[in-house]
Amino acid sequence: MAGRIVSINLSENKGTRKTPVGYAKVIKGIGIEGDAHASGAYKRQVSLLAIESIKKMTEKGVRVGPGDFAENITTEGLDLPGLPVGTRLMMGGLVEVEVSQIGKTCHSRCAIYEQAGYCVMPEEGIFAAVLTGGSLNKGDEVKIIC
């Protein structure tokens, strides 16, 4: 099964929406160069959310798009929350990541939750550790490799 990258998103500060960019350098064991969440913390080096999840929010009347949930990679065509921890993904033919966490605990209500009464990221966003770095571009393929 394969999908694609709809958007690559970065922010300089934690706790803010991310800005879409055309490409990014992904660093093994760190995350995406230039992103506030890039660190050696194994579980949450890169975050992913499906455009299908974002569409659930727009159907509720919330004006959101890629990066608004602070995800690094917005995908299309993959059931991200259905992937078990340990699943490996190949992005762009070079970057390999391993799913390390499904969803997250939100300790405070974000602006999206306040507006809609619900937010998809805590249940449908996933996090991954970077096993092999490289460059990613918008439109690159994302494949489940194991």
Q: Is the pLDDT of residue 29 over 80?
A: yes
Report the predicted TM-score, pTM, of the whole model to 2 decimal places: 0.90
Q: Which residues span the domain enclosing 91?
A: 2-144
pLDDT in tens, 74-114: 999 999 999 999 999 999 999 999 999 988 666 565 555 55
**Residue tagged 């949450």 (tokens):** 44
Task: State the chain's mean pLDDT as an integer.
Answer: 88
State the Cα–Cα distance between residues 52 and 99, nearest whole angstrom: 19
| Contact between 66 and 6 (Cβ < 8 Å) | yes
Domains: count for the chain = 1
Q: Is the pLDDT of residue 117 over 80?
A: no
Query: What is the CB neighbour count within 10 angstroms for residue 14?
Result: 9
Q: Which CATH number characterizes residue 94's domain? A: 2.40.33.20
Mean pLDDT lowest among 39-53, 68-82, 93-107, 111-125:
111-125
